[in-house]
Amino acid sequence: MTKGMDAAELAKFSPFNALNSTNIDELLKDVIVLEATQGEVLFSQGDKGRRSIYLLSGTISLNENDDVKETLVGGSEEARNPVAPVLPRQVTAVAEGDVRYFSIDSEALDLTLTLEQTGIYEVGDIEATMTSAEGDWMSALLRTKTFQLIPPQNIQMIFMRLQRREYKAGEVVIKQGDKGDHFYIITSGRCMVTRETPGNGSNIDLADLGVGATFGEEALISNEARNATITMLTDGTLMELGRDDFQSLLNDEVVVSLSHDDADEAVSQGGQWLDVRVPSEFKASSKANATNLPLYMLRHKLDDLDRRTPYVVYCDTGRRSSAAAFILNQRGFETAVLKGGLNCSEL
């Protein structure tokens, strides 16, 4: 690992250049800057790691089996885009000299793009009730695996239905063996997770939870009793979501997904590709004859779309396109989503 990078440098790359400064600063925390010497492999053909790789300086070759398919030079227009993003990787990236590059979690990047472009980060009513000591709990929460699995169109509704509650140090939030009735998010303070051992009734400390951590979902999903006790270690504030809201809003909405072959067939039968990525991503790679309408512009440009045409919506991963399809379906359009997006190979 080597010297890091700043927000201005990160904003030169796509699709970071489509994000506001606050979200760029947040993503910068997840960036890992690395160096490689001549002959060193950045990633191998067949790799399935969900990290986007960007070349900062130097030259790399992209090799399929033993054949060089392409070379990429840092600082070029092509290098503003992620290197060989399709998973599993179709090529091996090899340093042709000293190179500097960075990687970032692809899911975190795509989730941030989706949330910003659907307006889900605009939850001022909740933010207005926070104190400066609580920190950015929403950003921490949105990066958890639990929330990465929630349909983007549901997240804003979840924030709207959360109820704020203050707790004192030593207060029991949930007790092992009780029926589950809420899902909890820590916005300030710390909690201890303990479990009672069979026989002697003593407690084992399992985890110390801080801001942005969540708990309580297991009992709601399984409909079983709580399997641990959660106690406040300090005074703090929790956001609570009731059982019914949890179960309805964490279930996926009905969005039709098509495999790559079925999507191609749908387009050949009169459908239209709709690319909802930002223009720089569209310029770097896109489906033939696709229409580019970025997610953040979708609500304002609906009149540009033909309601008689079925659309196959796509992005890199399927997350932004699912959010777009939900918006379009609400307004009477016929849509389907390219399953897994462009960066998912079905080979």
Whether pTM exceeds 0.85: no
| Alpha carbon distances (Å) from 275 to 113, 137, 320, 337 | 14, 32, 10, 10
pLDDT digits (tens, 9 = 90+) for 49-78: 889 999 999 999 999 988 999 999 999 999
pLDDT of residue 130: 41
Cβ neighbours of 248 (radius 10 Å)? 11
Q: How far apart are CA 76 and CA 73, in angstroms?
A: 6
Q: Which two tokens stand for residue 209?
A: 């939870």
With a cut of 50, which residues of the chain have pLDDT below it?
1-2, 120-135, 252, 347
pLDDT of residue 121: 42
pLDDT of residue 124: 36
Does the 120-150+152-249 domain belong in CATH 2.40.50.140?
no
pLDDT of residue 221: 62
Domain segments of the chain as ranges: 7-105, 120-150+152-249, 257-338
pLDDT of residue 47: 94
| Residues 277 and 220: beta-carbon distance below 8 Å | no
Asked, as a colleague might, if the bond just before 294 is cis with ω within 30 of 0, I would say no
Strand, helix or coil for residue 233: coil
* E strand map for the chain: 32-36, 41-43, 51-57, 59-64, 67-73, 92-95, 99-105, 163-167, 172-174, 182-188, 191-196, 203-209, 214-215, 229-232, 236-242, 257-258, 272-275, 291-292, 311-314, 335-338
| Residues 313 and 274: beta-carbon distance below 8 Å | yes
**Which residues is 272 bridged to in the sheet?**
311
pLDDT of residue 122: 39
Cβ neighbours of 246 (radius 10 Å)? 21
Closest by Cα among 87, 91, 93, 92 to 347: 87
CATH number of 257-338: 3.40.250.10
DSSP 8-state code for residue 14: T
CATH fold match for the domains 7-105 and 257-338: no
DSSP 303-320: GGS-TTS-EEEE-SSSHH
Beta strands at 41-43 and 182-188: parallel, antiparallel or unpaired: unpaired
pLDDT of residue 190: 93
Alpha carbon of residue 252 to chain centroid: 15
* Cα-Cα end-to-end distance for the chain: 33
**CATH C-level class of 7-105:** mainly beta
pLDDT digits (tens, 9 = 90+) for 111-130: 788 877 765 443 333 333 44
pLDDT of residue 51: 93
pLDDT digits (tens, 9 = 90+) for 173-194: 999 888 888 989 888 899 999 8
Positive or negative, the Cα torsion across 330, 331, 334, 335?
negative
Which amino acid type is present at position 261?
D
pLDDT of residue 294: 92
Which amino acid type is present at position 325?
A
Closest by Cα among 60, 126, 50 to 98: 60
Matching residue, tokens 């300090």: 234
| Residues 311 and 272: beta-carbon distance below 8 Å | yes
